[in-house]
Homo-oligomer: A and B are copies of this chain.
């Protein structure tokens, strides 16, 4: 973690109500109760793991007020109202020290076109390329080697990591976070088959990403044929996901890694898709629907439904069919026996 805190510093950060034991080691990492070694901090987040505390090798332990037991020599118990909340506080502090917001300004190696508008409080790291008419909002951070195309727009307090690409006319609203290598605004995959050849259909729309969206490393989002491809407020997309042209994703969805959404499909608010799920084109996954990993969704899914399998069917039915399939060898034998009667 590249950080080191004394037990006393941690007690202050988490607001410990009481301390027991003492330790000279600094804390350099966090680990589970069973994995923790000297120099690690651990925590009792769930009472059911209480029995793991005495054997834990952690140097500092975050424990609830009612935990009874004594620290070993060289071990510190910090009593806190809620160990999970205390851990979150500590992690947030570490996060800040690991990735402090870089200072405002434009690195001299960045290539900024004359008609780009860069807010004075934004940070443009080394070797970023900003084309004419692009706009980078207040407090936004472009880490390094980020490309922002003509007339593209980055709102306020966005973080755009190394090597991400935002092509022309696409927009990020505020507090959007793009992990390294994300591509926003590649051309939609649209061709017309004319005399034995696939002729490109112009893709003249754009991509609009609303507030508080996060998109994982090397994911790709295509611009719309016309109008916009949209990712709704607060939605989180994992690595290597593919969002095709004219897809509209609602608010607060979770799309796990390697998901692929085909063109013109609508994903309503609060939808959750497991890893490697594929969704066909021109369909609607209604509000709050869910799909298990690797599901292949070919039809509309009603609100709140949970589907699985390829093609996707209701989860419980899919589970039941899967079990029956495993009994097929037996079924064949039983039918044979009946035929011999």
Interface string of A162-206 (1 = CB under 8 A from B): 110101110000000001110100110101000011101111111
Chain B residue contacts of A149, Cβ below 8 A: 162
Chain B residue contacts of A161, Cβ below 8 A: 165, 167, 186
Q: Which of A273-288 contact B (CB under 8 A)?
A: 275-276, 278, 280
Q: CB of A209 within 8 A of chain B?
A: no
Q: CB of A244 within 8 A of chain B?
A: yes
Q: CB of A126 within 8 A of chain B?
A: yes
**Bound CA span A200–B213, Å:** 11
Q: Are B198 and A254 in contact (CB under 8 A)?
A: yes
Q: Are A180 and B183 in contact (CB under 8 A)?
A: yes
Q: Which of A205-255 contact B (CB under 8 A)?
A: 205-206, 212, 214, 216-218, 220, 222, 226-227, 234, 236, 238-240, 242, 244, 252, 254
Chain B residue contacts of A226, Cβ below 8 A: 1, 29-31, 91
Chain B residue contacts of A262, Cβ below 8 A: 256-257, 275, 293
Q: Are A326 and B310 in contact (CB under 8 A)?
A: no
> What number of A residues sit within 8 Å (CB to CB) of B?
103
Q: CB of A320 within 8 A of chain B?
A: yes
Quick one: which of B129, B293, B313 contacts A326, CB cutoff 8 A? B313
**Which of the 9-residue segments A18-26, A44-52, A331-339 touches chain B?**
A331-339
Asked, given contacts A31-B226, A181-B181, A258-B260, whether A2 binds B169 with beta carbons under 8 Å apart, the answer is: yes
Can you sample 20 A-B contacts with CB below 8 Å? Answer: A35-B227, A98-B168, A109-B111, A111-B127, A126-B129, A127-B145, A145-B145, A145-B147, A149-B162, A165-B181, A189-B216, A242-B275, A256-B262, A257-B260, A278-B293, A278-B294, A310-B310, A321-B326, A321-B328, A324-B332
Known: A95-B203, A220-B257, A324-B332. 6 other contacts (CB 8 A): A2-B169, A30-B226, A31-B227, A183-B239, A218-B218, A220-B240
